[in-house]
Amino acid sequence: MKNQKGKVYLVGAGPGDCDLMTVRSQKLLSQAEVLIYDALVDIPQLELIPVSCLKIEVGKRGGKPSTQQQEINRLLVEHCHRGKQVVRLKSGDPFIFGRSSSEIQALKAADCDFEVIPGISSAFAAPLLAGIPITDPVMSRCFAVMSAHEPDALEWEALVKIETLVILMGGRNLGEIVWQLQKHGLSSQTPIAIIRDCGRPEQQIWLGTLFNIVQKTSCESLSPCVIIIGEVVRLREYLMQPEITSKIDVPVSNNSQLPLAGNTILVTRAASQSGQFADRLQEQGARAIEMPALVIGPPSCWEALDSAIAQLSTFHWLILTSHNAVDCFFQRLQAKGKDARSLFGIKIAVVGKKTAESLRSHSLQPDFIPPNFVADSLVENFPWEGGHGGTAPTNCKILFPRVESGGREVLVKEFTAKGAQVIEVPAYQSCCPKTIDPIALAALQNRAVNIITFASSKTVQNFCKLIAQSPELSGSQDWLENVCIASIGPETSKSCYDLLGKLDVEAQEYTLDGLNEAIVQWVAKNQR
């Protein structure tokens, strides 16, 4: 994204946590050559910055020496003229109580290219995260957002007529705010909420009225905070979890108590498959970064699968060993004008709970699931005539749709030895992405990743290929020293040992749920 002249991006960092930044903001951070950032920007956001990026803090801190706006403008222009991609990272949204206008004027005067990237303002995020709606069909048909940095400059007589007030930068002037509102006619029983550090693990809320809120917070440091005033505050008790609403003056978001809190976990599954697993990790307090190490696509030729579909009635068993195999097989079945009814009389064996769930989504139940969710277990426990140690019945014909290249041969080899005719056909191809995700790369370069998860041998192989493309990482494996390598099962573990030289966690149950549980146990044991 670098060009000869350079460019400045005025980026909104959102209220705090990286997860509350826009995707575009995260990507720009991961590609920044110069970062000029505010004091309130969350530190984990800086982990997204490339190691080579020049970082300049220019935050304005109350009561402390701060960088003059003129100097900030000069820095932006200077680095832009040097041909750099400059990110000016601002808390919240760049245009809400920021000084973006001054910076844009300076950039325009210097003929600098720039772009403004919106962010989520704490004015909207804080009430939401505290369970307070700032509008309501009955209680609040409008609201006003203001800064109370200079209370004397506000039109209090007009403000008291607005149903909901959202006040930023008002922590130091809470007493003045309360006094002015009551002076101009607002009832002392008007509800008020104060949210400090919204969107962060240490988020905290105080509830009260104009009558008692100053006393309730007299010994507290309230900055940075968002103040919400109006009847909508009362709605919180109906909209939040009972165990949360019963608590006042305690963290609303107690992420520090979650089992994976404080860990950044890299998820290497295919982009289309990683979301649910990443969401589960984040629900347990982790910061999940997706680094797709697989791209799922069609096989190089459909001929073999199409021929098998045309002869489905000749098969006795259909074996599906992955979610990808299920989806790709049924997509092709549909493309050929057929559906699940075409499988009448054919038994279906699957490997793993997730594969079984995928099959059930097509209104079919598996006839056999091995006790352990690996191909070896399917081979060892397959229900042949005469039991597990038996042989295939005469003329037994098995259809095995699979990945086009890179899969293991144990199933075909062993079933053939049992006397079965195994027809293996490519149903999909799994390839290595061309480039490493920039956010994941920045996190690895900054040694910000604690745990890397692998759900297949192929993801380990492709991960290593992608790492080899990065000079900052490929030169040595020092970046792996304090990183936990977590595997879904034995074959994946073997690839971790062979290619990465280490393994820290292996799931006891060879599923994503099992992998998640193994990671939780490892964290509990090693990070106390």
| Ranges assigned E (strand) in 230-381 | 264-267, 287-290, 295-297, 317-320, 347-350
**Distance, C-alpha 351 to centroid of its chain:** 28
Choice among 146, 169, 291, 458 that is catalytic: 169
Tell me the HSE value of 346 on the side-chain side, using a 13 A CA sphere.
Answer: 23
**Structural element, H or E, at residue 276:** helix 275-283
Distance CA 29, CA 27 (A): 5
Give the contacts of 293 (CB within 8 A, at least 6 positions apart): 268, 269, 270, 432, 433, 458, 459, 460, 462, 463, 466
Exposure on the CB side of residue 169, measured as CA atoms within 13 A = 17
Q: How many helices (H) and strands (E) does the chain have?
A: 21, 20
E strand segments, 13-71? 34-37, 54-57
- Specify whether 169 is catalytic: yes
CA nearest 355: which of 240, 281, 257, 273? 273
3-state helix, strand, coil in the chain (%, to 5): 40, 20, 40
Residue 44 to residue 28: CA distance in whole angstroms: 15
In this structure, how many other beta carbons lie within 10 angstroms of the beta carbon of residue 84?
20
Name the residue type at position 159: L
- On the 0-12 / 13-18 / 19+ scale of CB atoms within 10 A, 434 is exposed
Is the CB of residue 158 less than 8 Å from the CB of residue 142? no
Q: Is 60 assigned a catalytic role? A: yes
Separation of alpha carbons 321 and 352, rounded Å: 8
The CA-atom distances, in angstroms, between 205 and each of 81, 120, 164, 251, 325 are: 45, 19, 18, 7, 49
Active-site pick, 60, 347, 353, 494 = 60
Q: Which of 7, 27, 38, 458 is catalytic?
A: 38
CA 125, CA 253: separation in Å to the nearest integer?
13
Strands 295-297 and 317-320: unpaired
Only one residue has tokens 């061309």, namely: 434
- Taking the C-alpha atoms of residue 89 and residue 250, their distance in angstroms, rounded to an integer, is 30
Alpha carbon distance 518, 291 (integer Å) = 20
Concerning whether 367 is annotated as a catalytic residue, the answer is no
Helix (H), strand (E) at residue 147: strand 143-147
Name the token pair of 82. 């040097």
Name the burial class of residue 218, with classes exposed (0-12), middle (13-18) and buried (19+) by CB atoms within 10 angstroms of its CB: exposed
Return the residue matching tokens 């990110």: 87
Question: Which residues are part of the catalytic machinery?
Answer: 38, 60, 169
